[in-house]
Amino acid sequence: MKLNFLFKEITLFKKYKTNPVAITWLLLALLTAISEIARGTKAINNYQIFKYVFFHTIDQVNLYSLYPEAHYDSNHYGIFFSVLIAPFALLPGWAGCSLWCMANAAFLLYVIGRLPLNRPQKIIILAIGLIEMLTATHNTQFNPMLTAFIIFPFILVKEGKEWQATFFIAAGFLIKLYGIVALVTFLFSRNKIKFTGWFVVWLLLLFCFPMLLSSPSFVLQSYADWYHSLDDKNNLNTSLGIVEGQNISVHGMIQRTFKLPGLSQLWVLLPAALFNLLPLLRFKAYKSTSFQLLYLALCLISVTIFSSSAESATYILAVIGVGIWFVLSDRRNNWVIALLLFTFIFTILSPTDLFPDNIQKHFFVKYALKALPCSLVWGVIVVHLLTRNFSPTAANADA
């Protein structure tokens, strides 16, 4: 009896044993958040913007105007964000900001842990994405959580949980337009009618939900204001030399490198859209886990490198996509390792203190070179999706 009891205790301990990877991830996120909070409200300006989205919704004042007494810059998220940020905004500033950063890091950690991959592959993805997660945390950004919002539907649809998957698609879309990219999971769903029905339900419910905090007329006006805000931001970001920290994208890289201030985004977006859609013609590959995960990686990279709103803290999306690609690739190939190292130097480490400000400003930022490695990985993924054998009998068909 004593031995049986002892065995049960050991089994229970193993089941709930401390996870050093998770502790390291969350502890570094917390320490990063604390270091920014200690520097004062200017250092957590993004969180200040986010917090006031809630209060401005309650007061029914324009969500996209400038409020210099509270923060600099303006909000660019949809009014549904007021619902998400509410629990944090109601707390004292230091507590709300700390928990906000921790929630972003924890949700991304949880979702990566749910990917249909083995434990070493998940740890590699976390290791690749760690610095970018901390970069986003330094900026108190929403992007780690948005990354999770895009990844989770791929997991949930595979598990046949369309009602949950469509919630995250609708929520991500109504907060930041990037989230709509996860709608591609409709193609992988085994119950497309259920998927469609739930997506429409969630879209309507979440569209109306902020009305409980304000009023129907204010919500409708806010969506119209949001459109104009995003249009103005896009026009500003695509103007060469005006906003150096923005448009870190393929378009921005080409525009700045070749001094083409009038270059239309369509010259980049249309070919990109074509190559993003071509792999979806491989209908028989839809059932392959590897195909779905590679397409997820493509989506995460695409919404970053082809967006005029991409900034340094946005690249947590793209780098997690690079991580997924890497663990699905043949890591014995030197070019795969070389491309990952190139990503570490030009994308992940370029904004850090490892490089002097002069090099950052006059090389990496000036030519938007943070986008270059991810653009190359994007091209490799497109080739893999178009040429790799994803049949059930293929060695690489499933992760």
Q: For 231-282, what is each residue's pLDDT tens digit?
A: 988 888 776 554 557 889 999 999 999 988 888 999 999 999 999 999 999 9
CA 280 to chain centre: 22
8 Å CB contact between 122 and 58: no
Min mean pLDDT across 55-59, 222-226, 361-365 is at: 361-365
CA distances to 253, 263, 264 from 240, in Å: 10, 9, 11
Torsion of CA 326, 331, 336, 342, to 10 degrees: 70
d(C-alpha 245, C-alpha 241), whole Å: 10
What integer pLDDT is reported at residue 240 of this predicted model? 55
DSSP string of 273-297, one letter each residue: HHHHHGGGG-GGGTT-HHHHHHHHH
Sign, CA dihedral 28-350-128-44, equals positive
Give the tens place of pLDDT for each residue, 185-207.
999 999 999 999 999 999 999 99
CA atoms within 13 A on the CB side of 313: 15
The sign of the dihedral angle between the CA atoms of 348, 352, 354, 356 is positive
Which sequence spans correspond to the domains of the chain? 21-237, 242-399
Answering whether pTM is above 0.75, one says yes
> DSSP per residue over 238-277, as a string?
TSTTT-TTS--SHHHHHHHHTT-TT--THHHHHHHHHHHH
Task: Residue 35: name the closest of 92, 98, 91 by CA.
Answer: 98
pLDDT digits (tens, 9 = 90+) for 120-169: 999 999 999 999 999 999 999 999 999 999 999 999 999 999 999 999 99
Which residue in 174, 162, 161, 179 sits closest to 205, CA to CA? 174
